[in-house]
């Protein structure tokens, strides 16, 4: 997260403290948590990390007392066990797990307040009321909400905490399968973007290598962020990708991607102990904390090349690769294998952009030319 955004979060926190006549010497984790929950149902991205850094700095200079860790209560221990189940039992990504835990905490607070957890008291009305109260967050966010609540309720039944399948009463969000068209860039646009990349500075070499990985191999941003130096086998020309759920896959390394990575590692990457391939250019020298950092790189590259697109994140390059391959005659099975889709249904959405094949299915207009 950039310094201006962190300073903006700290400024908001400072105004919040002033409004409540609280001093810096009183700041602790509980106070930070109270501030973060000031708008129920709304997540202020990046505030938590920035304020925890501020708290650590205040303790380091002696403004705020260093507190000994408090023993975790039964609710916290229960959520810790649920988080381990999501990470290791179900193999969910860490970012997804954090969202699930957040919604589980909100559900427990909504039903039990700060009291003891008595799951035998849960009823279907508790679930539907919770969903209805928070289903104002937008379609994608609502979908994540109901998925997280279903997951938590199934976990409760798996643990034997409830006897009734309450997950079945979670209302669905109306998002019809294959109802959307993937957002992609016109033919030749990716090459135009790469041609406008600055490749002399260390930052330019890093960003160029990132863009090539996304555009040539269709990596997700989280996969590129998690890439380590030992994931690249220079002798065999292969690269190991850790995808969703911790699943690993090996892909051939195209020549231009390998050359860009080698150029960055040899003469652009800072010397540090971090094993991540892509490292921040400012201290502390470590890998990117979030996938959104790579989306920012893509957005700036689009602007530099003068490309106007409704979607400017890293995923637009993945969609563009799939549609380009389809246009060149690749099958949906081949595309699904490259993109590492677990289900053919995920790849099926790209059939909607294959206009040549779709024209053969179109019926003639009644009364039209034969």
| Residue linked to tokens 């860009």 | 260
Helices and strands: H and E segment counts in the chain: 16, 3
Active site residue 318: yes
Distance CA 31, CA 33 (A): 5
Active site residue 244: yes
DSSP codes joined into one string, 117-184: --GGG--HHHHHHHHHHH--S-HHHHHHHHHHHHHHHHHHHHTTS-SS-GGGGSPPP---TT-S----
Active site residue 15: no
Q: Which of 216, 280, 318, 319 is catalytic?
A: 318
Active site residue 8: no
Active site residue 350: yes
Q: Which of 269, 276, 280, 315 is catalytic?
A: 315
Provide the b/e sequence for 165-203 (b: ≥16 CB within 10 Å): ebbebbeebeeeeeeeebebbeeebbeebbeebeeeeee
Contact of 17 with 27, CB cutoff 8 Å: yes
Q: Which of 111, 134, 206, 220 is catalytic?
A: 220
Nearest by Cα to 224 from 139, 159, 167, 293:
293
Q: Which of 192, 199, 238, 244 is catalytic?
A: 244
Active site residue 37: no
**Partner residues linked to 248 by β-bridges:** 242
Q: Give the catalytic positions in this structure.
A: 220, 244, 315, 318, 341, 350
């Amino acid at each position: 997260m950039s310094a201006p955004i962190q300073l903006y979060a700290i400024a908001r926190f400072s105004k919040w403290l002033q409004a409540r006549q609280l001093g810096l010497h009183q700041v602790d984790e509980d106070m930070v948590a109270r501030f973060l929950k000031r708008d129920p149902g709304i997540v202020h991205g990046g505030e938590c990390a920035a304020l925890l850094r501020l708290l650590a700095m205040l303790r380091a200079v002696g403004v705020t007392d260093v507190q000994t860790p408090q023993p975790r209560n039964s609710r916290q221990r229960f959520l810790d066990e649920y988080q381990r189940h999501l990470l290791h039992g179900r193999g969910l990504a860490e970012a997804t797990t954090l969202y699930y835990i957040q919604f589980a905490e909100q559900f427990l607070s909504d039903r039990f307040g700060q009291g003891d957890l008595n799951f035998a008291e849960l009823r279907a009305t508790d679930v539907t009321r919770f969903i209805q109260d928070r289903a104002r967050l937008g379609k994608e966010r609502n979908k994540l909400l109901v998925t997280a609540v279903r997951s938590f309720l199934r976990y409760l039944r798996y643990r034997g905490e409830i006897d009734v399948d309450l997950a079945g009463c979670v209302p669905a969000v109306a998002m019809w399968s294959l109802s959307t068209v993937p957002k992609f860039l016109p033919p030749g646009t990716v090459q135009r973007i790469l041609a406008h990349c600055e490749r002399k500075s260390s930052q330019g070499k890093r960003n160029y290598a990132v863009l090539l990985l996304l555009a040539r191999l269709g990596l997700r941003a989280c996969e590129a962020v998690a890439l380590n130096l030992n994931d690249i086998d220079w002798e065999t020309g292969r690269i190991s990708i850790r995808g969703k759920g911790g699943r690993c896959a090996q892909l051939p390394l195209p020549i231009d991607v390998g050359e860009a990575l080698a150029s960055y590692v040899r003469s652009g990457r800072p010397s540090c102990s971090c094993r991540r391939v892509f490292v921040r250019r400012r201290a502390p020298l470590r890998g990117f904390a979030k996938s959104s950092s790579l989306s920012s790189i893509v957005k700036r590259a689009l602007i530099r090349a003068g490309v106007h697109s409704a979607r400017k994140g890293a995923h637009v390059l993945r969609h563009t690769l799939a549609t380009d391959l389809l246009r060149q005659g690749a099958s949906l099975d081949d595309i699904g294998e490259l993109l590492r889709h677990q289900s053919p249904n995920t790849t099926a959405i790209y059939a909607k952009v294959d206009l040549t094949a779709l024209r053969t299915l179109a019926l003639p207009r009644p009364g039209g030319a034969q």
